[in-house]
Amino acid sequence: ATATIGMTGLAVMGRNLARNIANHGHTIAVHNRTTARTTALVEEFGDEPTEHGGAFVATESLEEFVAAIRRPRAIIIMVKAGEPTDAVIEELVPLLDEGDIVVDAGNAHFTDTLRRQQALESQGLHFVGMGVSGGEEGALKGPSIMVGGSEHAFEVLEPVVMSITAQVDGTPCAAHVGPDGAGHFVKMVHNGIEYADMQLIAESYDLLRSVAGLEPAEIADVFDEWNAGDLESFLIEMTADVLRHTDAATGKPFVDVVRDAAEQKGTGRWTVQSALDLGVPITGIAEATFARSLSGHTAQRAAAQKMFSTTTEDQRVEVDRDTFVDQVRAALYAAKVVAYAQGFDQIAAGSEEHGWEVDLGETATIWRGGCIIRAQFLDRIKEAYASEPDLTTLLTTPYFVDAVKDGVDAWREVVATGARAGVPTPAISSSLAYFDGLRRTRLPAALIQGLRDNFGAHTYERTDREGTFHTTWAGDRTEKEM
């Protein structure tokens, strides 16, 4: 056995991650169900050591693959999430020895990771659920890595993980976020935040174009300008790139020839489902997920467009272009603070529920590079948790308080303008509603409690004394302490 680690599953992600590992001086055994992928990798990049001393050991059968790795073995599975991952684990496990470490680096649902971890642990094996972010390019050049598993398993994997991950200011964008499902959970919420981020950007674009009348190339310039300030991020930069792109076939802006139905692979949905289970209001992520669903509901959209033509129902809203651009920037920033605050709340709640003890500041730190949501902004979040590890909500950290206070008038103006013009802003406006909901001293939830007690005797608590109460609504309306 010559390899220090193994990788099975050599589609785009596995192939690039294996190359990244070899480029960092590790000898890696490679395997794929269809041998052609293994052959192609080795034919293209050779099986001689790389300039850094790493090399590929190409294998055809799983038996050969397992035999090529030094014990205790560390084996990364990078195949399609769900049943294919279970199929690979099932084939692999009988070939392994006690103490070997099986790493699932695919986009597994964290509940699958919990189940697999239990199953493998009972067979004397270690199981690690490793969230890898950054897509194809990140896998090759340095992804953000969220490791979930035992301390021991992490210690074994650490040299490889820390060498292949992205680095920001000398700090690796990888960490042991917690045991069992913690890595995949944090990766899931990361993807949810990515949904919210993209939706907020898309709404901002729509407002600038439909209300202020800017052309896509002009909006690209606006995003470039924003990218020089506190909104600086990979997604803002990429938005300018996409908006400036012209379709070669028609000469039109690229964004005008793409069908306006956003697809999703499911991590946004998982994030929302988990948030519902945990009772955490992640309205930004939820609205972003539903907005994608709405965009794909062709029949309903066609029916509504026929009945409610956009010209008759919407008001013409006159805005001063420069002022409106600034207002949209402020609204985007404030709504983004809310979306991240909600995402971090969800990680805190998941961590509490499963006893993971996820370090929220560290989570912000490892998202600063290698992943799609990498942003300047994450430095602020890292600092917020560094100065106050038990922070109740990111919204109340001084830096964000100032940003939200300074931006709140603009935020309201943008939401109101969008509503008047008939330009939907589900994520920007729901974030404002969330913010207003949190900061109000009295919420109409009191009335809901009254209704619930009236129709269902669900009881209520009082503001002026302890206890649980019920009013005999159908009778003499006296109040009873329960």
With CB under 6 A as the contact rule, the residue among 87, 386, 433, 457 that binds ligand NBP is 87
The footprint of ligand NBP on residues 36-75 (CB under 6 A) is 37
Residue 252 labeled ligand binder? no
**Whole-number minimum distance, CB 31 to ligand NBP, in Å?**
9
Q: Cα separation of 27 and 10, whole Å? A: 16
Residue 354 labeled ligand binder? no
Judged by CB under 6 A, the stretch of 43-51, 81-89, 172-180, 252-260 that binds ligand NBP is 81-89
Give me the active site residues, please.
187, 194
With CB under 6 A as the contact rule, the residue among 3, 5, 7, 10 that binds ligand NBP is 10
**Whole-number minimum distance, CB 402 to ligand NBP, in Å?**
35
Q: Taking the CB of residue 100, how many other CB atoms lie within 10 A of it?
A: 23
The H or E element spanning position 168 is: strand 167-168
Q: How far is CA 237 from the centre of its chain?
A: 18
Rg, Å, the chain Cα set: 26
Residue 33 labeled ligand binder? yes
- If the CB atoms of residues 136 and 218 are measured against ligand NBP, the closer one turns out to be 136
Tell me the sheet residues that pair with 3.
Answer: 69
Give me 358's structure tokens. Answer: 């996820």
**Whole-number minimum distance, CB 458 to ligand NBP, in Å?**
42
> Is there binding between residue 267 and ligand NBP (CB under 6 A)?
no
Amino acid at 94: P
Q: How far is CA 79 from the centre of its chain?
A: 20
Q: Cα separation of 190 and 233, whole Å? A: 15
> Is there binding between residue 11 and ligand NBP (CB under 6 A)?
yes
With CB under 6 A as the contact rule, the residue among 21, 29, 66, 78 that binds ligand NBP is 78
Dihedral over alpha carbons 185, 191, 195, 198 (to 10 degrees):
150
Q: Cα separation of 161 and 131, whole Å? A: 12
State the binding string over 432-451 for ligand NBP (x if CB under 6 A, else -): --------------------
**Whole-number minimum distance, CB 258 to ligand NBP, in Å?**
19
Angle between helices 216-226 and 182-210 in degrees, nearest 10: 130
- If the CB atoms of residues 11 and 67 are measured against ligand NBP, the closer one turns out to be 11
Q: Taking the CB of residue 161, how many other CB atoms lie within 10 A of it?
A: 23
With CB under 6 A as the contact rule, the residue among 6, 58, 102, 106 that binds ligand NBP is 106
**Whole-number minimum distance, CB 342 to ligand NBP, in Å?**
22
Q: Is 77 helix (H, G, I), strand (E, B) or coil?
A: strand
**Whole-number minimum distance, CB 412 to ligand NBP, in Å?**
37
> Is there binding between residue 335 and ligand NBP (CB under 6 A)?
no
Exposure pattern of 300-333 as b/e (b: 16+ CB <10 Å)?
A: eeeeeeeeeeeeeeeeebebeeeebbebbbbbbb
> Is there binding between residue 95 and ligand NBP (CB under 6 A)?
no
Q: Cα separation of 184 and 106, whole Å? A: 9
Q: Cα separation of 138 and 338, whole Å? A: 27
Residue nearest ligand NBP (C-beta atom): 106
> Is there binding between residue 13 and ligand NBP (CB under 6 A)?
yes
> Is there binding between residue 214 and ligand NBP (CB under 6 A)?
no
Residue 274 labeled ligand binder? no
Can you list the alpha helix ranges (DSSP code H) found in 308-376? Answer: 310-313, 321-354, 360-366
Q: Cα separation of 195 and 40, whole Å? A: 34
CA angle 80, 145, 184 (to 5 degrees): 55
Question: Residues touching ligand NBP: how many (CB under 6 A)?
Answer: 22
Residue 191 labeled ligand binder? yes
> Is there binding between residue 395 and ligand NBP (CB under 6 A)?
no
**Whole-number minimum distance, CB 88 to ligand NBP, in Å?**
5
What is the phi-psi region of residue 82: left when phi exceeds 0, alpha when psi lies from -120 to 50, beta otherwise? left
Tell me the sheet residues that pair with 130.
Answer: 147
Residue 34 labeled ligand binder? yes
> Is there binding between residue 217 and ligand NBP (CB under 6 A)?
no
> Is there binding between residue 32 and ligand NBP (CB under 6 A)?
yes
The footprint of ligand NBP on residues 113-132 (CB under 6 A) is 132
**Whole-number minimum distance, CB 1 to ligand NBP, in Å?**
22
Residue 454 labeled ligand binder? no
> Is there binding between residue 9 and ligand NBP (CB under 6 A)?
yes
- β-strand 55-58 against 74-77: which pairing, if any? unpaired
Q: Is 265 helix (H, G, I), strand (E, B) or coil?
A: coil
> Is there binding between residue 159 and ligand NBP (CB under 6 A)?
no
The residue count for the chain: 482
> Is there binding between residue 148 and ligand NBP (CB under 6 A)?
no
Q: Which residues fall in the annotated binding site for NADP(+)?
A: 9-14, 32-34, 79-81, 107
Site of interaction with ligand NBP (CB under 6 A)? 9-14, 32-34, 37, 78-81, 84, 87-88, 106-107, 132, 135-136
Q: Which residues fall in the annotated binding site?
A: 9-14, 32-34, 79-81, 107, 133-135, 190-191, 195, 265, 292, 452, 458
Q: Which residues fall in the annotated binding site for substrate?
A: 107, 133-135, 190-191, 195, 265, 292, 452, 458
